[in-house]
Structure 1
Amino acid sequence: MDAELIINLWALYDASTGTVYALAGRAYNIAGTDKAKLDFLKMAARTDYVTAKRYRVPDRFCIVFPDGQEHRCVTYLNAVSDPNAQLFEQIFKNIEADLPPLPRFSGEDVSYVSQRISDDPLCVTTVLYEDGAGNIRPVVTDEDRAWIEQHQARFHGY
């Protein structure tokens, strides 16, 4: 099994505004079965967001709040799972651009080849839930989802 580039993506969700305000991503070069790679991505999603480079939500995303205020570079949470939104399109390009070239040896000569992310890479997308106090919790497991539901119920008083 050859190694391949696999990707972790994160969407930072501000619970107080109900918006995604930043994105992050990171590539890994991993060999193994798809299941082993997915298990790795899920494990790394819990911690690696801390060192992953963060990016703004693209300018094409805009929310008009009920009071009429327009906010650019934010989106609702549903855009994270909507493939038509292409929320992470630029993140893939940024990750690929940051990958170091790999040396290719030919006799005594060395050339360098740019790394490329495949058109359909193995990928895990994780929401990072940020509460009003700035605490961030990755939403990876059902336990995380239950915690968020409880937290939101307390925050919104229901």
Structure 2
Amino acid sequence: MHNLNSDLCVNLWYYLDAQTGLVFLVSGRVYALKGSHAQKRRLLGILAETDFRTAPTFPLPADLNLAETGLDAGEGLLLPEMVDLFHAEVFAPVWEHLWSNLATLGAALEPALGWTWPVPGCHLCLTTCIIEYEDGRLEPLVMPMSHPAVR
């Protein structure tokens, strides 16, 4: 049986400097998608390849303090492996922006829709690395999607 309800789905991007290997920006976009979970996940993957170009970017949170981990890369920079470990903290400015946009549209306040935010790592939230090269090129690294709940 297919879930044909509209769900909030999110693409998140983190920008990696090809020279330093460090993350320096985050971004995201929210969608209301219909279809099965597999269809939504496939569409998120397709959109991840292009939509980052029009999504607003945000610096890493200033209060992201990783000094005690021994993995601090410096102010405003982050080692890429920290994105998964501190996902909620890294993308906090993006989530705040997305929520405020939905609230402005009134969509977040409409209880009849029953929308909730997808949990990072679930089939309705895709995180993609964007590599920025010295010449300014941006290359999305959309990973193949496999999730046990997606059929």
TM-score normalised by structure 1 residue count: 0.71
Alignment correspondent of 1:101: 106
Task: State the identity %.
Answer: 26
Alignment correspondent of 1:30: 33
Alignment correspondent of 2:117: 118
The alignment status of 1:90 with 2:99, answered yes or no, reads no
> 2:137 aligned to 135, 141, 151, which one?
135
> 1:45 aligned to 19, 23, 48, which one?
48
| Change in 2 beyond 3 A, CA 1:38/1:47 | same
- For 1:12 and 1:23, the matched residues in 2 are separated by 6
- For 1:141 and 1:89, the matched residues in 2 are separated by 22
**Offset of residue 62 of structure 1:** 5.9
The alignment status of 1:59 with 2:62, answered yes or no, reads yes
1:86-138 deviations in whole A, cap 9, x for unaligned? 31133112101112114xxxxxxxxx748864263720000001111111100
- For 1:9 and 1:86, the matched residues in 2 are separated by 13
TM-score normalised by structure 2 residue count: 0.74
- What count of residue pairs does the alignment treat as equivalent? 129
| Change in 2 beyond 3 A, CA 1:96/1:46 | same
Unaligned runs of 5+ in 2: 68-72, 145-151
> Match of 2:90, SS?
coil
More divergent stretch after superposition (19-28 vs 75-84)? 75-84
1:132 maps to amino acid: E
1:135 maps to amino acid: R
1:123 maps to amino acid: C
> Match of 2:20, SS?
coil
| Change in 2 beyond 3 A, CA 1:85/1:78 | farther
1:124 maps to amino acid: L
Alignment correspondent of 2:70: none
Give the conservation status (yes or no) of the 8 Å contact 2:10–2:31: yes
Q: CA RMSD in A?
A: 2.7
Unaligned runs of 5+ in 1: 65-69, 103-111, 143-158
- For 1:80 and 1:36, the matched residues in 2 are separated by 26
- For 1:97 and 1:56, the matched residues in 2 are separated by 17
Give the conservation status (yes or no) of the 8 Å contact 1:42–1:124: yes
> 2:6 aligned to 3, 6, 17, which one?
3
